Amino acid sequence: MSSGRNFGRALIAIGLIALCADTPAFAADAAASVMPWWGWPLALFVVCFFLGIVAVPAGVGGGVLFVPIVGGFFPFHLDFVRGGGLLVALASALAASPGLLRIGLANLRLALPLSLLVAAAQIAGAMIGLVLPSSIVQTTLGVLILGIVVLMWASDKSDVPDVPVADALSAALGIHGIFHDTARRSDIEWKVHRTPIGLAVFVLIGVLAGLFGLGAGWANVPALNLLMGVPLKVAAGSSSLVLSMTSSAAWVYLNQGAILPIVVAPSVAGMMLGARIGARVLHVVRASAIRRLVIAMLLIAGARALLKGLGIWG
């Protein structure tokens, strides 16, 4: 247990040092003159590998860490970072979803209507994001990331919310399921309520996801769990499935030339390799320690994005 704690502390220290110490070096103009071109994709792979390790135990998708951190500290234009962020989130979700579906932790009947609305809204968000000046996108991204920090800090999740009666829409669509909870050593049947409100919330989530290239697992899980009454594990799994089904914004970025292979390929590879390690780290490190690390990283990256957008820093 103490080795787990030490590992957790070491991980937190490395993460914060990496973010803070590299800040001056990552000031794009200065660093571009000293770093060979191949140094950036290599650094991207290393950073994404580290982000992949912490993303899984912290219960966040890769995109929400990727966009503010890479956008704030790497020389790539925010357009390419957001395009990369969407593909990082998509690749992670695609890889995780088959396993989650087979064990009942992701539900297709729940994900289909949600992903339809998110996919449509994402197109609008991506189109808005690509015409807005990057300073405005950077500033609002900073505000949003700091809002997510508050949400992560304060949110009160419920393992298995009490849903006395399923609403008419979810009953008509057959949205319910069963999964095995290993902690409780029992099968848990679930149903949902407030589906119409949930659908409206997911439209808003889709616009934000397309606009900022964030993936949106950070918003999907609380909306599914706290609003619609989906058990936390199924909410996390179904959020991943929704992310995997909503690639419409990635298409918009691809069609507009905002996908740069030198950014995307090392990011996706690093994040997916890191996520495999992260799944193992989950067993040896306290989730709360990782969660604090992610909150600290998002706080720094959100402040950086805000200050960069306002022209105060970088």
Partner 1 sequence: MNKANVDASNKYASQEELRYAKVLDICVQAGLVLLILSFVIYVSGILPPLVPFELLPTYWGLSAKEFVKATHMPTGWGWVSLVGKGDILNLVAIAFLAGVSAICSFAVLPIFARRGEMAQLFIALLQIVVLVLAASNILAGW
Residues 5-44 that bind partner 1 (CB under 8 A): 28, 32, 37-38, 40
Shorter beta-carbon distance to partner 1: residue 226 or 262: 262
- Give the number of residues in contact with partner 1, rule: CB under 8 A: 74
Cα dihedral 41, 74, 86, 58, rounded to 10, equals 100
Beta bridge partners of 104: none
Least separation in angstroms between residue 185's CB and partner 1 is 15
- Determine whether 95 is exposed, middle or buried from the number of CB atoms within 10 Å of its CB (0-12, 13-18, 19+): middle
203 binds partner 1 (CB under 8 A): no
With CA atoms as reference, report the closest residue to 74 among 35, 107, 129.
Answer: 35
Q: Residue 106 or residue 294: which is nearer to partner 1 going by CB? A: 106
| 268 or 297: CB nearest partner 1 | 268
Supply 178's token pair: 């069963």
> Which residue number, 173 or 277, has a Cβ lying nearer to partner 1?
173
93: nearest Cα among 302, 247, 293: 247
- Of the pair 152, 264, the CB lying nearest partner 1 is at 264
Smallest gap from residue 130 Cβ to partner 1 (A): 6
- What's the DSSP call for residue 185? T
103 binds partner 1 (CB under 8 A): yes
The beta strands (E) that lie in 50-169 are given as none
Of these, 160, 199, 265, 277, which contacts partner 1 (CB under 8 A)? 265
For residues 275 and 253, what is the distance between their CA atoms, to the nearest angstrom? 25
Using the rule CB under 8 A, give the single segment among 148-156, 197-205, 258-266, 279-287 that binds partner 1: 258-266
In the complex with partner 1, which residue's Cβ is closer, 31 or 297? Answer: 31
276 three-class SS:
helix
Choose the stretch contacting partner 1; rule: CB under 8 A; options: 58-66, 193-201, 215-223, 246-254: 246-254
Write out the binding residues for partner 1, residues 76-95 only, by CB under 8 A.
76-77, 79-80, 83, 87, 90-91, 94-95
Q: How far is CA 290 from the centre of its chain?
A: 15
Closest CA to 175 of 115, 123, 122, 244: 115
Q: Which residues in the 121-180 window bind partner 1 by CB under 8 A?
A: 122-123, 127, 130, 134, 172-174, 176-180
**Which residue number, 59 or 270, has a Cβ lying nearer to partner 1?**
270
Question: Binder to partner 1 among 260, 287, 295, 296 (CB under 8 A)?
Answer: 260
> Residue 76 has what DSSP assignment?
S
Burial (0-12, 13-18, 19+ Cβ within 10 Å), 291: middle
Select from 9, 14, 20, 109 the one that contacts partner 1 (CB under 8 A): 109
| 48/149 with CB nearer partner 1 | 48
Q: How far apart are CA 275 and CA 6, in angstroms?
A: 20
Determine which residue in the list 19, 56, 216, 252 makes contact with partner 1, applying CB under 8 A. 252
Closest CA to 190 of 226, 224, 157, 230: 230
